[in-house]
Structure 1
Amino acid sequence: MESAKEIDLKELLKIFARKWWLILILTGSGLVSAYLLTTFLVTPTYEAKTVLYIGQEDTGLGTIGISLGQLQADSQLIIDYKQLALTRLVINEVAKNTGLKITEDDSGSRSWVIGKGFQEDPMTMTYKDFQKNTVIQTVENSRLFTVGFIHSDPQMAQIVADELAKQLTLAVLEVVGVQNIRILDQAVVPQKPVAPNKLQNGLVGGILGFMLAMIIITMRFLLNDTINDEADIESLIGVSVLGDIPEFKGEAR
Protein backbone atom coordinates (compact mmCIF):
# COMPACT_ATOMS: atom_id res chain seq x y z
CA MET A 1 0.00 0.00 0.00
CA GLU A 2 1.36 3.38 -0.96
CA SER A 3 2.02 5.76 1.90
CA ALA A 4 0.32 9.12 2.00
CA LYS A 5 2.40 11.99 0.72
CA GLU A 6 4.12 13.82 3.53
CA ILE A 7 3.72 17.57 3.75
CA ASP A 8 6.99 19.44 3.20
CA LEU A 9 6.21 22.78 4.80
CA LYS A 10 9.14 24.54 3.18
CA GLU A 11 8.15 23.29 -0.26
CA LEU A 12 4.52 24.20 0.37
CA LEU A 13 5.51 27.76 1.30
CA LYS A 14 7.49 28.02 -1.92
CA ILE A 15 4.42 26.94 -3.88
CA PHE A 16 2.33 29.56 -2.05
CA ALA A 17 4.87 32.17 -3.11
CA ARG A 18 4.78 31.01 -6.75
CA LYS A 19 0.97 31.00 -6.78
CA TRP A 20 0.66 34.54 -5.39
CA TRP A 21 -1.45 35.53 -8.41
CA LEU A 22 -4.08 32.88 -7.63
CA ILE A 23 -4.21 33.98 -4.00
CA LEU A 24 -4.57 37.61 -5.06
CA ILE A 25 -7.32 36.86 -7.59
CA LEU A 26 -9.46 34.75 -5.25
CA THR A 27 -9.00 37.13 -2.31
CA GLY A 28 -9.94 40.14 -4.44
CA SER A 29 -12.86 38.31 -6.03
CA GLY A 30 -14.24 37.32 -2.63
CA LEU A 31 -13.90 40.85 -1.29
CA VAL A 32 -15.53 42.53 -4.31
CA SER A 33 -18.29 39.92 -4.60
CA ALA A 34 -19.27 40.18 -0.94
CA TYR A 35 -19.26 43.98 -1.11
CA LEU A 36 -21.42 44.08 -4.25
CA LEU A 37 -23.86 41.46 -2.94
CA THR A 38 -24.24 43.45 0.27
CA THR A 39 -24.77 46.67 -1.68
CA PHE A 40 -27.36 45.43 -4.16
CA LEU A 41 -29.10 42.50 -2.47
CA VAL A 42 -29.23 43.35 1.25
CA THR A 43 -31.83 45.91 2.34
CA PRO A 44 -30.30 48.58 4.62
CA THR A 45 -31.92 49.16 8.01
CA TYR A 46 -32.04 52.31 10.13
CA GLU A 47 -32.32 52.87 13.87
CA ALA A 48 -34.10 55.79 15.52
CA LYS A 49 -33.87 56.44 19.27
CA THR A 50 -35.77 58.38 21.89
CA VAL A 51 -34.19 59.38 25.20
CA LEU A 52 -36.10 58.82 28.43
CA TYR A 53 -35.47 59.61 32.09
CA ILE A 54 -36.34 57.57 35.17
CA GLY A 55 -37.05 59.66 38.27
CA GLN A 56 -38.94 59.37 41.51
CA GLU A 57 -42.66 59.81 41.27
CA ASP A 58 -43.89 63.37 41.80
CA THR A 59 -40.36 64.80 41.75
CA GLY A 60 -38.79 67.16 39.25
CA LEU A 61 -35.98 66.42 36.90
CA GLY A 62 -33.65 68.54 39.00
CA THR A 63 -33.51 66.14 41.94
CA ILE A 64 -29.95 65.89 43.29
CA GLY A 65 -28.12 63.53 45.61
CA ILE A 66 -28.67 60.36 43.61
CA SER A 67 -27.01 57.48 45.42
CA LEU A 68 -25.37 54.42 43.92
CA GLY A 69 -28.18 52.31 45.36
CA GLN A 70 -30.75 54.45 43.58
CA LEU A 71 -28.91 54.07 40.28
CA GLN A 72 -28.81 50.30 40.75
CA ALA A 73 -32.52 50.26 41.55
CA ASP A 74 -33.22 52.36 38.45
CA SER A 75 -31.16 49.95 36.35
CA GLN A 76 -33.35 47.12 37.56
CA LEU A 77 -36.42 49.20 36.71
CA ILE A 78 -35.11 49.69 33.18
CA ILE A 79 -34.80 45.91 32.81
CA ASP A 80 -38.42 45.56 33.93
CA TYR A 81 -39.55 48.33 31.62
CA LYS A 82 -37.71 46.73 28.72
CA GLN A 83 -39.66 43.53 29.20
CA LEU A 84 -42.85 45.56 29.47
CA ALA A 85 -42.08 47.29 26.15
CA LEU A 86 -41.84 43.88 24.47
CA THR A 87 -45.29 42.72 25.61
CA ARG A 88 -48.26 42.44 23.30
CA LEU A 89 -50.02 45.09 25.37
CA VAL A 90 -47.52 47.71 24.21
CA ILE A 91 -46.81 46.30 20.74
CA ASN A 92 -50.49 46.21 19.77
CA GLU A 93 -50.98 49.84 20.76
CA VAL A 94 -47.88 50.89 18.82
CA ALA A 95 -49.07 48.99 15.76
CA LYS A 96 -52.53 50.54 15.96
CA ASN A 97 -51.13 54.08 16.06
CA THR A 98 -48.40 53.69 13.45
CA GLY A 99 -50.07 51.55 10.79
CA LEU A 100 -47.91 48.50 11.34
CA LYS A 101 -49.52 45.10 10.95
CA ILE A 102 -48.37 42.56 13.54
CA THR A 103 -48.91 38.87 12.80
CA GLU A 104 -48.22 35.60 14.59
CA ASP A 105 -46.08 34.25 11.73
CA ASP A 106 -44.42 35.63 8.60
CA SER A 107 -46.98 34.23 6.15
CA GLY A 108 -48.56 37.67 5.76
CA SER A 109 -45.32 39.61 5.42
CA ARG A 110 -44.73 38.58 1.78
CA SER A 111 -46.81 39.81 -1.13
CA TRP A 112 -46.70 39.24 -4.89
CA VAL A 113 -45.41 42.15 -6.95
CA ILE A 114 -45.87 41.97 -10.73
CA GLY A 115 -42.52 41.59 -12.41
CA LYS A 116 -40.65 41.17 -9.10
CA GLY A 117 -42.20 38.10 -7.52
CA PHE A 118 -42.67 37.80 -3.78
CA GLN A 119 -41.48 40.86 -1.83
CA GLU A 120 -41.29 41.52 1.90
CA ASP A 121 -43.91 43.99 3.13
CA PRO A 122 -42.07 46.48 5.39
CA MET A 123 -45.32 47.41 7.13
CA THR A 124 -46.00 43.81 8.20
CA MET A 125 -43.95 41.93 10.77
CA THR A 126 -44.32 39.28 13.42
CA TYR A 127 -44.25 39.89 17.16
CA LYS A 128 -40.80 38.27 17.27
CA ASP A 129 -39.50 40.59 14.53
CA PHE A 130 -40.87 43.63 16.36
CA GLN A 131 -39.22 42.52 19.59
CA LYS A 132 -35.94 41.80 17.79
CA ASN A 133 -35.96 45.26 16.22
CA THR A 134 -36.65 47.01 19.52
CA VAL A 135 -33.46 48.23 21.19
CA ILE A 136 -33.57 49.50 24.78
CA GLN A 137 -30.26 50.53 26.35
CA THR A 138 -29.16 52.26 29.52
CA VAL A 139 -26.88 55.28 29.63
CA GLU A 140 -24.04 54.37 31.98
CA ASN A 141 -24.08 55.90 35.48
CA SER A 142 -27.27 57.84 34.87
CA ARG A 143 -31.04 57.56 34.99
CA LEU A 144 -31.27 57.99 31.25
CA PHE A 145 -32.09 55.21 28.83
CA THR A 146 -32.90 55.02 25.14
CA VAL A 147 -35.76 53.32 23.33
CA GLY A 148 -34.90 52.58 19.71
CA PHE A 149 -36.47 50.81 16.78
CA ILE A 150 -34.85 49.39 13.63
CA HIS A 151 -36.67 49.46 10.29
CA SER A 152 -35.87 49.52 6.58
CA ASP A 153 -37.70 52.86 6.29
CA PRO A 154 -35.87 55.56 8.31
CA GLN A 155 -39.03 57.64 8.75
CA MET A 156 -40.99 54.63 10.00
CA ALA A 157 -38.15 53.85 12.42
CA GLN A 158 -38.53 57.36 13.86
CA ILE A 159 -42.33 57.12 14.09
CA VAL A 160 -42.30 53.73 15.80
CA ALA A 161 -39.54 54.74 18.24
CA ASP A 162 -41.52 57.78 19.38
CA GLU A 163 -44.77 55.83 19.69
CA LEU A 164 -43.03 52.99 21.51
CA ALA A 165 -41.62 55.41 24.10
CA LYS A 166 -45.06 56.99 24.52
CA GLN A 167 -46.84 53.66 24.96
CA LEU A 168 -44.18 52.50 27.41
CA THR A 169 -44.82 55.48 29.68
CA LEU A 170 -48.57 54.78 29.55
CA ALA A 171 -48.07 51.07 30.25
CA VAL A 172 -45.87 51.84 33.27
CA LEU A 173 -48.62 54.04 34.67
CA GLU A 174 -51.31 51.46 33.95
CA VAL A 175 -49.48 48.29 35.02
CA VAL A 176 -47.03 49.47 37.68
CA GLY A 177 -49.15 52.36 38.92
CA VAL A 178 -46.37 54.95 38.89
CA GLN A 179 -45.46 57.82 36.60
CA ASN A 180 -41.72 57.92 36.90
CA ILE A 181 -40.44 57.96 33.33
CA ARG A 182 -40.44 60.96 31.01
CA ILE A 183 -39.48 61.47 27.40
CA LEU A 184 -36.59 63.93 27.11
CA ASP A 185 -35.73 63.77 23.40
CA GLN A 186 -37.93 62.70 20.53
CA ALA A 187 -36.43 60.46 17.88
CA VAL A 188 -35.06 62.00 14.70
CA VAL A 189 -35.09 60.45 11.24
CA PRO A 190 -31.77 58.55 10.91
CA GLN A 191 -29.61 59.44 7.92
CA LYS A 192 -27.19 56.50 7.91
CA PRO A 193 -28.09 52.80 8.06
CA VAL A 194 -26.92 50.67 10.99
CA ALA A 195 -26.78 47.55 8.80
CA PRO A 196 -25.43 45.97 6.73
CA ASN A 197 -21.76 46.77 7.25
CA LYS A 198 -20.45 46.71 3.67
CA LEU A 199 -16.78 46.98 4.65
CA GLN A 200 -17.01 44.21 7.22
CA ASN A 201 -18.85 41.90 4.82
CA GLY A 202 -16.29 42.68 2.12
CA LEU A 203 -13.44 41.76 4.46
CA VAL A 204 -15.18 38.50 5.35
CA GLY A 205 -15.55 37.73 1.65
CA GLY A 206 -11.86 38.49 1.13
CA ILE A 207 -10.86 36.18 3.97
CA LEU A 208 -13.03 33.38 2.54
CA GLY A 209 -11.45 33.89 -0.88
CA PHE A 210 -7.97 33.76 0.67
CA MET A 211 -8.83 30.53 2.53
CA LEU A 212 -10.21 29.00 -0.66
CA ALA A 213 -6.96 29.81 -2.48
CA MET A 214 -4.96 28.17 0.33
CA ILE A 215 -7.10 25.05 0.20
CA ILE A 216 -6.85 24.75 -3.59
CA ILE A 217 -3.06 25.15 -3.60
CA THR A 218 -2.60 22.71 -0.70
CA MET A 219 -4.85 20.06 -2.27
CA ARG A 220 -3.04 20.33 -5.60
CA PHE A 221 0.26 19.92 -3.75
CA LEU A 222 -0.95 16.83 -1.90
CA LEU A 223 -2.48 15.22 -4.97
CA ASN A 224 0.55 15.90 -7.19
CA ASP A 225 2.43 12.60 -7.65
CA THR A 226 5.04 13.94 -10.09
CA ILE A 227 8.62 12.92 -9.25
CA ASN A 228 10.78 16.04 -9.17
CA ASP A 229 14.01 15.02 -7.43
CA GLU A 230 15.91 12.26 -5.62
CA ALA A 231 14.01 12.88 -2.40
CA ASP A 232 10.74 12.01 -4.15
CA ILE A 233 12.24 8.75 -5.44
CA GLU A 234 13.54 7.78 -2.00
CA SER A 235 10.17 8.56 -0.45
CA LEU A 236 8.34 6.56 -3.10
CA ILE A 237 10.37 3.31 -3.24
CA GLY A 238 12.16 3.49 0.11
CA VAL A 239 15.64 3.03 -1.44
CA SER A 240 18.47 5.53 -1.43
CA VAL A 241 19.52 6.93 -4.79
CA LEU A 242 23.17 6.11 -5.52
CA GLY A 243 23.63 8.65 -8.26
CA ASP A 244 22.12 10.21 -11.33
CA ILE A 245 23.08 10.44 -14.98
CA PRO A 246 23.64 14.03 -16.08
CA GLU A 247 22.17 15.25 -19.30
CA PHE A 248 24.64 16.86 -21.70
CA LYS A 249 23.67 19.51 -24.15
CA GLY A 250 23.44 18.16 -27.66
CA GLU A 251 23.27 14.56 -26.46
CA ALA A 252 21.00 12.45 -28.59
CA ARG A 253 18.21 10.67 -26.83
Structure 2
Amino acid sequence: MENMHDDEMEIDLREIFYALKKRIFMILAVGLLCGCLSCVYTKFFMTPVYTSTSSMLVLTKETTLSSLADLQMGSQLTKDYTVLTTSREVLQKVIENQELNISYKALKSCITLDNPTDTRILNVSVTYPDAEKAKAIVDELANVASSYIGDKMEVIPPKIIEDGEIPTVQTSPSMSQNTMLGLLAGLILSAGIVVVITIMNDSIKTEDDIEKYLGISTLAVVPDRKDYIGKKKKSKKKKSSKGGRA
Protein backbone atom coordinates (compact mmCIF):
# COMPACT_ATOMS: atom_id res chain seq x y z
CA MET A 1 0.00 0.00 0.00
CA GLU A 2 2.86 2.41 0.82
CA ASN A 3 4.43 1.90 -2.60
CA MET A 4 1.13 2.56 -4.32
CA HIS A 5 0.65 5.81 -2.44
CA ASP A 6 4.22 6.85 -3.19
CA ASP A 7 3.70 6.16 -6.90
CA GLU A 8 0.50 8.20 -6.93
CA MET A 9 2.24 11.13 -5.22
CA GLU A 10 5.12 10.94 -7.68
CA ILE A 11 2.70 10.99 -10.62
CA ASP A 12 0.84 13.97 -9.12
CA LEU A 13 4.03 15.96 -8.66
CA ARG A 14 5.11 15.12 -12.17
CA GLU A 15 1.79 16.33 -13.56
CA ILE A 16 2.10 19.57 -11.62
CA PHE A 17 5.65 20.05 -12.88
CA TYR A 18 4.65 19.52 -16.50
CA ALA A 19 1.60 21.77 -16.08
CA LEU A 20 3.81 24.56 -14.74
CA LYS A 21 6.38 23.98 -17.47
CA LYS A 22 3.70 24.05 -20.16
CA ARG A 23 2.39 27.41 -18.93
CA ILE A 24 5.72 28.98 -17.94
CA PHE A 25 5.36 31.86 -20.41
CA MET A 26 1.87 32.64 -19.15
CA ILE A 27 3.13 32.63 -15.54
CA LEU A 28 6.02 34.94 -16.43
CA ALA A 29 3.68 37.26 -18.32
CA VAL A 30 1.34 37.54 -15.33
CA GLY A 31 4.29 38.19 -13.02
CA LEU A 32 5.64 40.96 -15.26
CA LEU A 33 2.17 42.48 -15.58
CA CYS A 34 1.72 42.57 -11.79
CA GLY A 35 5.21 44.05 -11.39
CA CYS A 36 4.42 46.82 -13.89
CA LEU A 37 1.06 47.55 -12.25
CA SER A 38 2.74 47.74 -8.84
CA CYS A 39 5.34 50.14 -10.25
CA VAL A 40 2.67 52.39 -11.78
CA TYR A 41 0.59 52.35 -8.58
CA THR A 42 3.64 53.26 -6.49
CA LYS A 43 4.60 56.08 -8.86
CA PHE A 44 1.24 57.77 -9.30
CA PHE A 45 -1.03 56.74 -6.41
CA MET A 46 1.17 56.41 -3.30
CA THR A 47 2.19 59.51 -1.35
CA PRO A 48 5.96 59.73 -0.75
CA VAL A 49 7.13 60.45 2.79
CA TYR A 50 10.40 61.91 4.05
CA THR A 51 12.30 61.52 7.33
CA SER A 52 14.31 64.14 9.20
CA THR A 53 16.31 63.42 12.37
CA SER A 54 17.47 65.55 15.30
CA SER A 55 19.73 64.43 18.17
CA MET A 56 19.74 65.29 21.88
CA LEU A 57 22.44 64.66 24.49
CA VAL A 58 20.97 62.92 27.51
CA LEU A 59 23.84 63.62 29.91
CA THR A 60 23.81 67.11 31.40
CA LYS A 61 26.77 69.07 32.79
CA GLU A 62 26.09 67.77 36.29
CA THR A 63 26.38 64.15 35.18
CA THR A 64 29.81 62.58 35.38
CA LEU A 65 31.11 59.21 34.25
CA SER A 66 33.11 58.53 37.39
CA SER A 67 31.01 55.66 38.66
CA LEU A 68 28.71 52.87 37.61
CA ALA A 69 25.85 54.73 39.27
CA ASP A 70 26.33 57.63 36.85
CA LEU A 71 26.15 55.25 33.89
CA GLN A 72 22.98 53.68 35.20
CA MET A 73 21.53 57.15 35.77
CA GLY A 74 22.24 58.02 32.13
CA SER A 75 20.44 54.90 30.91
CA GLN A 76 17.44 55.65 33.10
CA LEU A 77 17.33 59.26 31.93
CA THR A 78 17.28 58.07 28.33
CA LYS A 79 14.17 56.00 29.02
CA ASP A 80 12.51 58.93 30.81
CA TYR A 81 13.32 61.33 27.97
CA THR A 82 11.88 58.88 25.46
CA VAL A 83 8.54 58.83 27.26
CA LEU A 84 8.38 62.57 27.85
CA THR A 85 9.32 63.49 24.28
CA THR A 86 6.17 61.84 22.91
CA SER A 87 3.86 62.93 25.73
CA ARG A 88 0.54 64.49 24.80
CA GLU A 89 1.41 67.93 26.14
CA VAL A 90 4.62 68.10 24.08
CA LEU A 91 2.94 66.93 20.88
CA GLN A 92 0.01 69.31 21.24
CA LYS A 93 2.46 72.19 21.70
CA VAL A 94 4.30 71.17 18.52
CA ILE A 95 1.01 70.98 16.61
CA GLU A 96 0.04 74.44 17.83
CA ASN A 97 3.41 76.03 17.01
CA GLN A 98 3.62 74.43 13.55
CA GLU A 99 -0.11 74.93 12.82
CA LEU A 100 -0.57 71.28 11.90
CA ASN A 101 -4.03 70.00 11.03
CA ILE A 102 -3.59 66.58 12.67
CA SER A 103 -4.25 65.04 16.07
CA TYR A 104 -1.49 64.38 18.58
CA LYS A 105 -1.98 60.64 18.07
CA ALA A 106 -1.41 61.02 14.33
CA LEU A 107 1.74 63.04 15.01
CA LYS A 108 2.95 60.44 17.49
CA SER A 109 2.68 57.74 14.81
CA CYS A 110 5.08 59.83 12.66
CA ILE A 111 7.76 59.97 15.37
CA THR A 112 10.54 57.43 15.91
CA LEU A 113 12.94 57.54 18.86
CA ASP A 114 16.25 55.69 18.87
CA ASN A 115 18.97 55.36 21.49
CA PRO A 116 22.17 53.90 19.97
CA THR A 117 23.75 51.19 22.09
CA ASP A 118 26.15 52.35 24.83
CA THR A 119 25.45 56.03 24.20
CA ARG A 120 23.52 58.82 25.89
CA ILE A 121 22.27 60.16 22.58
CA LEU A 122 18.57 60.23 21.77
CA ASN A 123 17.78 60.45 18.06
CA VAL A 124 14.35 61.91 17.27
CA SER A 125 13.01 61.25 13.76
CA VAL A 126 9.86 62.57 12.11
CA THR A 127 8.39 61.07 8.94
CA TYR A 128 6.10 63.38 6.97
CA PRO A 129 4.83 63.77 3.36
CA ASP A 130 6.54 67.16 3.02
CA ALA A 131 10.37 67.21 3.28
CA GLU A 132 10.69 70.80 4.57
CA LYS A 133 7.84 70.29 7.00
CA ALA A 134 9.47 67.13 8.34
CA LYS A 135 12.58 69.15 9.27
CA ALA A 136 10.50 71.94 10.81
CA ILE A 137 8.49 69.48 12.92
CA VAL A 138 11.52 67.54 14.20
CA ASP A 139 13.34 70.75 15.16
CA GLU A 140 10.25 72.07 16.94
CA LEU A 141 9.75 68.74 18.69
CA ALA A 142 13.34 68.71 19.95
CA ASN A 143 13.07 72.27 21.28
CA VAL A 144 9.70 71.76 22.96
CA ALA A 145 10.74 68.38 24.42
CA SER A 146 14.01 69.82 25.78
CA SER A 147 12.20 72.66 27.59
CA TYR A 148 9.44 70.35 28.83
CA ILE A 149 11.91 67.77 30.20
CA GLY A 150 13.93 70.46 32.00
CA ASP A 151 10.77 71.89 33.55
CA LYS A 152 9.10 68.64 34.62
CA MET A 153 12.22 66.82 35.82
CA GLU A 154 13.75 69.99 37.35
CA VAL A 155 17.09 69.45 35.62
CA ILE A 156 19.12 71.37 33.07
CA PRO A 157 17.37 70.73 29.73
CA PRO A 158 19.05 68.18 27.45
CA LYS A 159 21.28 69.77 24.85
CA ILE A 160 20.30 69.59 21.18
CA ILE A 161 23.52 68.55 19.43
CA GLU A 162 22.17 68.17 15.91
CA ASP A 163 19.26 69.81 14.12
CA GLY A 164 17.27 68.07 11.43
CA GLU A 165 18.11 68.32 7.74
CA ILE A 166 15.79 68.69 4.77
CA PRO A 167 15.71 65.15 3.32
CA THR A 168 16.40 64.87 -0.40
CA VAL A 169 15.48 61.18 -0.76
CA GLN A 170 12.07 59.82 0.12
CA THR A 171 11.88 57.23 2.88
CA SER A 172 9.00 55.35 1.30
CA PRO A 173 7.49 53.96 -0.80
CA SER A 174 10.35 52.10 -2.46
CA MET A 175 9.79 51.76 -6.20
CA SER A 176 12.15 48.81 -6.64
CA GLN A 177 10.86 46.97 -3.58
CA ASN A 178 7.20 47.33 -4.53
CA THR A 179 7.93 46.30 -8.12
CA MET A 180 9.70 43.14 -6.94
CA LEU A 181 6.87 42.36 -4.53
CA GLY A 182 4.33 42.78 -7.34
CA LEU A 183 6.40 40.53 -9.61
CA LEU A 184 6.68 37.81 -6.96
CA ALA A 185 2.98 38.09 -6.10
CA GLY A 186 2.05 37.69 -9.77
CA LEU A 187 4.32 34.66 -10.20
CA ILE A 188 3.02 32.98 -7.04
CA LEU A 189 -0.62 33.75 -7.84
CA SER A 190 -0.49 32.49 -11.43
CA ALA A 191 1.52 29.39 -10.47
CA GLY A 192 -0.93 28.66 -7.65
CA ILE A 193 -3.89 28.90 -10.02
CA VAL A 194 -2.19 26.48 -12.44
CA VAL A 195 -1.49 24.03 -9.61
CA VAL A 196 -5.08 24.19 -8.33
CA ILE A 197 -6.52 23.66 -11.82
CA THR A 198 -4.18 20.71 -12.37
CA ILE A 199 -5.09 19.08 -9.05
CA MET A 200 -8.84 19.62 -9.55
CA ASN A 201 -8.77 18.26 -13.11
CA ASP A 202 -9.62 14.56 -12.75
CA SER A 203 -10.57 13.97 -16.37
CA ILE A 204 -9.19 10.81 -17.99
CA LYS A 205 -6.62 11.59 -20.65
CA THR A 206 -4.39 8.50 -20.84
CA GLU A 207 -4.53 4.75 -20.20
CA ASP A 208 -2.69 5.30 -16.93
CA ASP A 209 -5.46 7.62 -15.74
CA ILE A 210 -8.00 4.79 -16.14
CA GLU A 211 -6.05 2.56 -13.81
CA LYS A 212 -5.30 5.45 -11.45
CA TYR A 213 -8.83 6.84 -11.02
CA LEU A 214 -11.01 3.78 -11.78
CA GLY A 215 -8.73 1.03 -10.52
CA ILE A 216 -9.21 -1.19 -13.59
CA SER A 217 -6.75 -2.41 -16.19
CA THR A 218 -6.90 -1.34 -19.83
CA LEU A 219 -7.54 -4.25 -22.22
CA ALA A 220 -7.58 -2.38 -25.52
CA VAL A 221 -7.28 1.09 -26.99
CA VAL A 222 -9.65 2.43 -29.65
CA PRO A 223 -7.88 4.84 -32.03
CA ASP A 224 -9.23 8.33 -32.52
CA ARG A 225 -11.39 8.24 -35.68
CA LYS A 226 -11.17 12.00 -36.18
CA ASP A 227 -7.60 11.79 -37.43
CA TYR A 228 -8.53 8.95 -39.77
CA ILE A 229 -11.55 10.80 -41.17
CA GLY A 230 -9.50 13.96 -41.61
CA LYS A 231 -6.81 12.09 -43.53
CA LYS A 232 -9.44 10.39 -45.68
CA LYS A 233 -11.01 13.73 -46.64
CA LYS A 234 -7.62 15.17 -47.54
CA SER A 235 -6.79 12.19 -49.75
CA LYS A 236 -10.15 12.52 -51.56
CA LYS A 237 -9.50 16.21 -52.21
CA LYS A 238 -6.10 15.41 -53.64
CA LYS A 239 -7.56 12.75 -55.93
CA SER A 240 -10.31 15.07 -57.11
CA SER A 241 -7.82 17.84 -57.81
CA LYS A 242 -5.67 15.47 -59.83
CA GLY A 243 -8.72 14.26 -61.79
CA GLY A 244 -9.70 17.87 -62.57
CA ARG A 245 -6.24 18.67 -63.89
CA ALA A 246 -6.24 15.59 -66.09
Task: Report the Cα distance in structure 2 between the residues aligned to 1:242 and 1:146, rounded to whole angstroms.
Answer: 80
Using structure 2 for the length normalisation, give the TM-score.
0.80
Bigger CA radius of gyration: 2
Q: Deviations over 1:176-225 (max 9, x none)?
A: 00015101111110111111122222222122111211122122213334
> In structure 1, what is the equivalent of residue 97 of structure 2?
97
Task: Give the counterpart of 2:174 among 182, 197, 208.
Answer: 197
* Greater percentage in helix: 2
Residues 210 and 251 of structure 1: is their aligned pair in 2 closer, same or farther, counting only changes over 3 Å? Answer: closer
Q: Secondary structure at the match of 1:211?
A: helix
2:60 corresponds to 1:56: yes
Contact 1:169–1:179 (CA<8 Å) still a contact in 2? no
Note the aligned Cα RMSD (angstroms): 2.5
1:235 aligns with 2:239: no
Secondary structure at 2:177 match in 1: helix
In 1, the alpha carbon distance for the partners of 2:15 and 2:72 equals 61
Answering whether residue 93 of structure 2 is matched by residue 87 of structure 1, we say no
Partner SS state of residue 102, structure 2: strand
Q: Distance in 2 between matches of 1:96 and 1:247?
A: 84
Q: Which residue does the alignment assign to 2:238?
A: none
SS of equivalent to 2:41:
helix
Q: How does 1:173-212 map to 2 (within 5 A)?
A: 173-212=150-189
- 1:37 corresponds to: 41
SS at match of 1:244: coil
Shift of 1:51: 1.4
How far apart in 2 are the matches of 1:28 and 1:212? 12
Amino acid across the alignment from 2:122? F
Tell me, which stretches of 5 or more residues in structure 2 are unaligned? 1-7, 233-246
Number of matched pairs: 221
Task: Using CA pairs under 8 Å that are at least 6 residues apart, name the structure with larger relative contact order, 1 or 2.
Answer: 1
The TM-score, its normalising length taken from structure 1, stands at 0.78
Residue 147 of structure 2: which of 146, 170, 191 is its match?
170
Task: Tell me by how many angstroms 1:239 deviates.
Answer: 0.9
Gaps of at least 5 residues in structure 1 are 101-123
What SS class does the counterpart of residue 8 from structure 1 fall into?
helix
Residue matched to 1:16: 20
Which of the two has greater strand per residue? Answer: 1
Distance 1:236 1:54 in 2: 74
- In structure 2, the residue matched to 1:118 is none
Quote the Cα distance in structure 2 between the aligned partners of 1:177 and 1:143: 19
**In terms of mean alpha carbon deviation, does 176-185 or 217-226 score higher?**
217-226
